[in-house]
Structure 1
Amino acid sequence: MLAVAMLLTLGLGGPWSGAEKAEAAPAFAKGADISWVPGMEAQGYTWKDKNGNTRDIIDILKNDYQINSVRIRVFVNPSNDYGNGYMNKDRAATLAQRAKNAGMSIMLTLHYSDSWADPGKQTKPAAWQSYTFQQLMDAVWNHTRDVMYAMQAKGVTPDWVQIGNETNNGMLWEDGKASVNMKNYAWLVNTGNNAVKSVSSGTKTIVHLANGYDNALFVWNIGGLIANGATFDIIGMSLYPTASDWSTKVNQTITNANDMISRYGKQVMITEIGLDYNQATAAKSFVTDIKTKIRNIAGGNGLGVFYWEPQASPGYNGGYNKGAWQSNGRPTIALDGFIN
């Protein structure tokens, strides 16, 4: 299987190249990560709109806030209870089908872990712990294709797939830790990219880092990937400011985005944002500002903005407080920033 991955790296194609094509992505994605929705529904949560009417959350996001895209994370073998929103490929595909049926575009976030992958932890799946690096690349290849085929079985071809999540220091530690072996990290990104393209040549791949305002991080990480031959389409960024610094952080992120575009020829997408639910006025201003500035990047190279789990109620799932709904089931004004 590795040989196939490397052939694709060299652009020689493979027996699956171009098998399916993603549907046309929106010119500008206004998105929400909704991975907790099925678990919340299983726990009995419901959502009200701004008028107090209980409605389907996807309907509210689309029709009240002009959300046209959703982001869904996928773990390899999550052991945690489904009620808490730990999505395997089949649960993720069912949610993706539901969003597609509502007319939305789909982004997948492949964590390549059994639980959360982020700047502080990139833990290999338990089943992959003893693998050689070649076996690890084969596992990334096979898992990525399995997820893509699970989506296609539900009639979904994702528009975008993140190869890892917030891989500030690489992924699948220690083998793919960027500060230890940037080449390994690049090869893992290549393997994920090529696996996606082998199933859907039109799906765009994303490398996603946290702290979108941190230009030095992005130059080191993205530059290191490219110097080591990594192939991917889009640079993704997270941004979680405070009510007092969001304007500064947005401007720094836009400066960084423009640098990434000019330096590496990559388009940019803000794949995670959030701000405390009890700072809703600041959150609305933040959303409005970053949406407008990303959309106005020259050449159409700013592709979209995604709010992370806006439907989360205050304190949900261990204390997440950056959603956009209140404990009374009604939304804050934060998502009004998406409305044109």
Structure 2
Amino acid sequence: MNKLINFLCCSLLLLSCSNTSNNEVIEPVKETPISGFAKGADVSWVTEMEAAGVKFYNTSGQAMECMALMKSLGMNSIRLRVWVNPSPAYNNTADVVAKAIRAKNLGLRIMIDFHYSDNWADPGKQTKPAAWTSLDLEGLKSAIGKHTTDVLTELKKNGITPEWVQVGNETNDGMLWPTGRASTNMSGFAQMINAGYDGVKAIFPDAKVIVHISNGYDNQLFRWMFDGLKANGAKYDVIGMSLYPTYAPDFASGGWAKVNQQCLTNMNDMISRYNKEVMIVEVGMPWDSASECKLFLSDIITKTKSISNSKGLGVLYWEPQAHNNWVGYTLGAFDNSGKPTIAMDAFLP
């Protein structure tokens, strides 16, 4: 989904592991085995929201630290996006490390999502970082490798081992345009993927590398992309998908149930066609359609779990804690009082 959202002006990030007040509930450290089905959320906005004074509450109205709240709602995984040189500094290396420490201290599994941009990268926007604009393909590959290893090295120094690492975000037509635009240079895009893959494996050999594109219901798009990557020798472990059913062409005629079935068909095709695992790394529906969203989530979780040989790795909600029209985003799963809606019940055991 295109996330070209106009940000509110906020104060610069205070580099700390937590920005919570004394009356918030913070769970103690509990180790979680690195196995099993992933249920989680991308909460990358959390430090920016906290700096703006936003609070998060459980259903009883008690303030809680955001990631602890996600864990109490049945989630076991946290996804964090990385930007190269953003301004303000949210989602830069220091911010990502601070958030990852919080997730680690709660025993949560971690996914790192490299955008390879200074800001949003998505199907409609794959802009090179300002410092990389003059680089050719070889220079970009080197920059991808260095950025990837630099960020992951900082995580490793802080005792953090991500289970999954995305090399690019919603790369429906490649990344780092125009050089890595897949429709005009699939070979170049594949080489960029490999630069990221090699960078990940150099620091965390056991981390699973994800190539992520949106519209998980669109089998034609996925075949085009992954046929092209296969033909050009791309290296990766997992096919990642976004699934926002209200944006699907068939939503009007069949609702989320039809979209979910299309996604399941696509996931099974990806597994049989490329012998890869699959994972739904982003989902979302309007926060004020909570009952419908709960049904959607419960169904796609069940469908993903049903994939043979446990090759459906998990389902993650994108920024569910966004509430009260935070920067205009309305596909979260919290109400305007900062409490989770019943949609989040889908993640409970």
TM-score normalised by L of structure 1: 0.90
Partner of 1:33: 42
Partner of 1:183: 187
Contact 2:324 2:338 in 1 (8 A): no
Structure 2 counterparts to residues 88-107 of structure 1, below 5 A: 88-107=92-111
Q: How far apart are 1:26 and its partner, in Å? A: 2.7
Q: How far apart are 1:27 and its partner, in Å? A: 1.2
CA distance, structure 1, for counterparts of residue 226 and residue 324 of structure 2 = 35
Q: How far apart are 1:132 and its partner, in Å? A: 1.7
CA distance, structure 1, for counterparts of residue 244 and residue 54 of structure 2 = 25
Q: How far apart are 1:155 and its partner, in Å? A: 1.1
Contact 2:39 2:75 in 1 (8 A): yes
Partner of 2:113: 109
Moved more, 323-332 or 175-184: 323-332
Q: Does 1:56 align with 2:68?
A: no
CA distance, structure 1, for counterparts of residue 125 and residue 197 of structure 2 = 21
Match for 2:294 among 284, 308, 321? 284
Q: Which runs of 5+ in 1 are unaligned?
A: 1-22
Contact 1:310 1:323 in 2 (8 A): yes
Deviations 1:142-170 (A, max 9, x none): 00001101111221011000000000000
Match for 1:320 among 329, 332, 347? 329
Q: State percent identity of aligned pairs.
A: 50
Match for 1:155 among 159, 168, 178? 159
Match for 1:332 among 329, 341, 345? 341
Partner of 2:86: 78
CA distance, structure 1, for counterparts of residue 133 and residue 34 of structure 2 = 36
Structure 2 counterparts to residues 217-232 of structure 1, below 5 A: 217-232=221-236
Partner of 1:270: 280
Contact 1:26 1:68 in 2 (8 A): no
Partner of 1:69: 77
Secondary structure in structure 1 of the residue aligned to 2:80: strand
Partner of 2:24: none
Secondary structure in structure 2 of the residue aligned to 1:230: coil
Partner of 2:145: 141
TM-score normalised by L of structure 2: 0.88
List, as ranges, runs of 4+ consecutive aligned residues in structure 1 with deviation greater than 6 Å: none
CA distance, structure 2, for counterparts of residue 283 and residue 50 of structure 1 = 17
Match for 2:317 among 307, 312, 330? 307
Partner of 2:244: 240
Deviations 1:256-299 (A, max 9, x none): 00000000000000000000000000110111000111011011
Partner of 2:169: 165
Secondary structure in structure 2 of the residue aligned to 1:252: helix
CA distance, structure 2, for counterparts of residue 292 and residue 114 of structure 1 = 36
Partner of 1:196: 200
Partner of 1:47: 56
Count matched residues. 312
Deviations 1:98-129 (A, max 9, x none): 00100101000000000000000100000000
